[in-house]
Amino acid sequence: MAEPAAITQAKQEAAALRSLIDDVEDQLDAAIEEYNYAAAMLAQTAADAEATQALLSQAEADLQRVSAQLSERLVEIYKYGQLGVLDALLGCGSFSELVDRVDWVERLSGQDAQLLAEVRTYRDAKIARSVELAQQIEAQTTYAAEAESARVKVQERLVANEKALTGKEAQIAQLVKEEAERQARLAAAAKKAAEEAARKAQLAARAKAKARAAAQSAPVSVPASASTSDVVSIALKYLGCKYMWAGSSPDGFDCSGFAMFVYKQVGVSLPHSSRMQYGCGVPVARDRLQPGDLLFFYNPIHHVAIYIGDGKMVHAAGRGKGVRVDEVPTRSYNCACRIIR
């Protein structure tokens, strides 16, 4: 008997929602990795700022020292009445204005002119470096905030779509229930046959799921050196761990957090950003891949996996998927690098 049109339409709408959720989950993965990259860059800029603070302190000390020397000379000029220079001094409203005047430099001795040039140099260097540093921090802070805002928006879209799917599935369940009741009233025997078929289908689905899980959990034998073999074996220990945004422990991983955690177990420290992890190794052509190599996907990069050999990879696949083994896809593949050589 043909399925009622209302149920068919509801199922089609649910399938469309599931497809949309898959697309939004990919967008969320990209937004998460964009935020990870922005956060890592902000941390790096902050570290640069701390290192630069010593240079700013030295520039301030140099400025104070040379300014004091120039001030002493100006007192001498005033004291001994070098009138041409004195007139220039009296025409300035501040010490900074005096330093910027050019018309009276020729009236100074060579030593005095050199002092003035040093004051200008140290002052301008301090101002330029301070402005540059402030602009860098402001830009990175804005970048990180925008990345987080984008992630939140994608997350909100995902939640809204999942809520819509839940409602649609409830509608399907209600329609199926009503149809089942109608069919039961028409023929009890037909209902019993349908229940038996459903029971068998459920058993078959469970058996298929168990077989698939067993296949995914089987250890993969790959020819590799001891260190890269350790990377693969450690990664496979965490099959089934759940996916968690910004996660980097067995309680939950995102893609770059999983790669970072696995390599940390063999003594290699990687940043928590797939884009930055690519820069930590030597680029490798796809036909030269070896177990333990890192695989990167999309452009710009926003997903990373660990190659385990035989065209397969292990990775934190996404929300609702967790850590699992998959075939290396062709459509989204970007590049690869080798960390342990």
- Which active-site residues does the annotation give? 255, 303, 315
Tokens coding 111: 């030593």
For residues 315 and 303, the answer to whether their CB atoms sit within 8 Å is yes
Beta carbons of 334 and 296 less than 8 angstroms apart: yes
Contacting residues for 220 by C-beta, under 8 A, at least 6 apart:
232, 236, 308, 309, 310, 312, 325
Cα 108 to chain centroid, rounded: 58
Q: What single-letter amino acid sits at 50?
A: E
- Round to whole Å and give the CA distance between 71 and 112: 10
DSSP conformation letters of 244-291: -TT-EETTEE-HHHHHHHHHHHTT----S-HHHHHTTSEE--GGG--T
Q: How far apart are CA 334 and CA 35, in angstroms?
A: 20
User: Element (H or E) spanning 296, and its range?
Assistant: strand 294-297
CA distances from 144 to 42, 100, 140, 255 (A): 7, 39, 6, 19
In angstroms, the CA 222 to CA 14 distance is: 41
State which amino acid sits at residue 228. Answer: T
CA–CA dist 311, 222 (Å, integer): 11
